[in-house]
Amino acid sequence: MRKQIAAANWKMNLTYQQAERLLDEILQEKIALGPDQQVLFAVPFPYLVLAKSEVDEVHGYAIAAQNAYSKVNGAYTGEVSVEMLQSIGIKYCILGHSERREYFNESNEQLARKVELCLEYGIQPLFCCGEALAIREAGTENAYVQRQIEESLFQLSDEQVRQVIIAYEPIWAIGTGKTASAQQAQEMHAHIRSVLAGKWGKETADAVPILYGGSVKAGNAAELFASPDVDGGLVGGAALVAQDFVQIIKALK
Ligand code: PEP
């Protein structure tokens, strides 16, 4: 069975003290994870080392970065490299979140480079894709998401793409309280899997976890995650409340 993943995206929230408390409250629950279940916390850069030291001994829990730059190193003031993440033992990194695409103009081409760099340095990318409301209203969301995947992932080998985690996050559902229905999520996830199968074959497509993101809450996680092609969630707002995220972890298949 492919990995079932509950990933918290803290975005640019929480002070150091609040972050420490939130992580403690969640870990105190000692939720026993199955062999194919994984919990990730994508925390702001300054908290990576602390957060990693807190989860290191806990089975199935790991820390992710929220972004990394598309160059190996050099004169890029303010950026953080994949090599730096690797050097502190980070194994996961969100790439191409819609907020990065919108506010920092990240393109599919730049993301292709970031994905390659992460894989080169042994970091599994959580590659985000998803359409804006206007695209869904026009009925062209399948083609749009397919293009994001083609332009950022299709250069990868079979072995490489098996290290990628995809997060489908319809922009109209992120932070809006408007969740995609379980059927809408399943339909898009099945489409994404068919795009992967078309390029790398069914066996590889079946090995890639595809998470849903967009107003996942304690109350809707179980229904969303129950769909056959939904392998967990990437969670923003609800991941900032310990008891809510605990319920989301418990909703994993
Ligand atoms: C996200 O940050 O990726 C996200 C899906 O946010 P929210 O759960 O708040 O919609």
Residue 179: what pLDDT? 85
Ligand 1 atom nearest 233 alpha carbon: 5
Q: Using one digit for the tens of pLDDT, what is the confidence trace for 187-217?
A: 999 999 999 999 999 999 999 999 999 999 9
- For the chain, domain boundaries: 4-250
Catalytically active residues are: 97, 169
Q: Which atom of ligand 1 is the closest one to the Cα of 169? A: 5
For ligand 1, the distance from its centroid to the CA atom of residue 13, given in whole angstroms, is 12
Q: Which fold has domain 4-250?
A: TIM Barrel (3.20.20)
pLDDT tens digit sequence for 101-111? 999 999 999 99
Give the per-residue pLDDT at 195: 98
For ligand 1, atom 7, name the residue with the nearest CA.
236
Contact yes or no for 23/107 (Cβ under 8 A):
no
Name the binding residues for substrate. 9-11, 175, 215, 236-237
In degrees rounded to 5, what are phi and psi of residue 5?
Answer: -130, 130
**Model ipTM?**
0.96
Give the per-residue pLDDT at 123.
Answer: 98
Ligand 1 binding pocket (C-beta < 6 A) is 9, 11, 169, 174-175, 213-216, 234-238
Where the chain has pLDDT below 50, the residues are none
| Nearest atom (ligand 1) to Cα of 235 | 8
Tell me the residue ranges of DSSP E strands in the chain. 4-9, 37-42, 61-65, 92-95, 124-129, 165-168, 210-213, 232-235
Cβ–Cβ < 8 Å for 38, 4:
yes
Which residue's C-alpha comes closest to atom 1 of ligand 1?
236
Does the reported pTM lie above 0.90?
Answer: yes
